[in-house]
Structure 1
């Protein structure tokens, strides 16, 4: 083979390799085009369900916000949900709230319950409410998380106290606010400060509750919505001392309820009798309601397990 032929063969081989490479490049480009079309088809499907996906994400965000608020016993307010969760989607509150409620019930065994509207307690407040022509509110706009688990799973052996700050402190706090709420409810829903102090003195809880001062615990209960402290001052120009009265707070009406009060009284007394049951129901103002329930149901049990006096079930 002559030298010119040897020199021409590599060139021919290069041309052949270039021809082989061109179909492979076209094949790769064709495959990439197919993948791009496939991905764009997926994007179209995602875009078709983007609204539902966005709603689910907002519902999960609402659930996280609700759990964080409930952990610190902070009321979950509608304005807070719109600001912290929905942002510029504030008009979709009802739709997102419904999705979150379903997820809470199906996965978490809880639901958001709206707190009752704060009642007008003093005579002055009632008079102002009668004089004002403002439209009555249909809801408080504040919620708490409530368990939807069956009754057997709500016992103390199943539901343990929170370990923050400690299990003992949490159990003591729950027992204390349940007792104070029960005392207020048993005194026709209103308890003077002097009478509350006498009760606490008998229980040796007038100075300290667990590791903190009793005054600090009462202020914490007021902040969490278990009690309402009402200060009534004498009219201007008249002599007299201010009076302090304690009322049942909105969280206590939903979380403790009349059933919680009755359960605590029965537990404290131990031996129970029909006569004590009659006195307890009369003291809580349930005599007329029990009679009405007996007419409707035939068994005299007309109270809801999660409702306070004067509350109506949705």
Structure 2
């Protein structure tokens, strides 16, 4: 019963190889890991390229619609100008003509955007998809190689069952032939797998080298296209400005003042509260108290003491004091 178990085991290996999918390799080699990284990178790049191409297509369609809108706008202003008999009527009609000219410029710009920007991006998205398919092709070759190796294992097991078994000598030669054919199939699968791997690696490396230059060229073409378009639009509006704001007596037409950023109006909640600051009070300056002139008085008293007759007030006070009686003197003594 050993050969039955071996057959079942080989059948399981074959089933696993047939059902193998990218990223499910049970024993990945360093080369397999590199291809898994490349596959993840290409898948993400394809998603982003599809997104950019979709937005570029929407931008082109918007500009095409803008061109049609400018045509209708110009026609309306032309009819309005023709209805006016005053000087403003001619200016309005001129505005209609300028709008019609801008319609042509915008329509042409949308067409050039499609040719120089949208189409290259769409083509590049398809190139990325082709690289992804090439990576998948390598996975398919890896699966085929596994299938061939499994078939060889089955053929070798069948040969082992009949070899050296009495009575089955006639089956040995066909079994050996099957094993030889299986070996040749494995060798062929290995050669194809190696060739596909080498070719895919070379194509992916070339793609990564050229991608940066191609994206740079596409972006520069788009930038130049936008600059050229906006310059044409500016010149068209500048010519119309002279119609509504003509120069007087050959003088240069006045230019419009530059736009200024609007100053936001402050609300009561935004106005900071004005808190009155206390006014500093100067410290009082001490006033010196005048002192009496002592020296002159002392000089006067000295003079009076020397000449009592020169001070009538002192003489009057002295004369008004009563002299003590003799009895009083006796008591004191």
Higher relative contact order (CA 8 A, sep 6+): 2
Larger radius of gyration: 2
Larger strand fraction of residues: 1
Larger helix fraction of residues: 2
TM-score (norm 1): 0.20
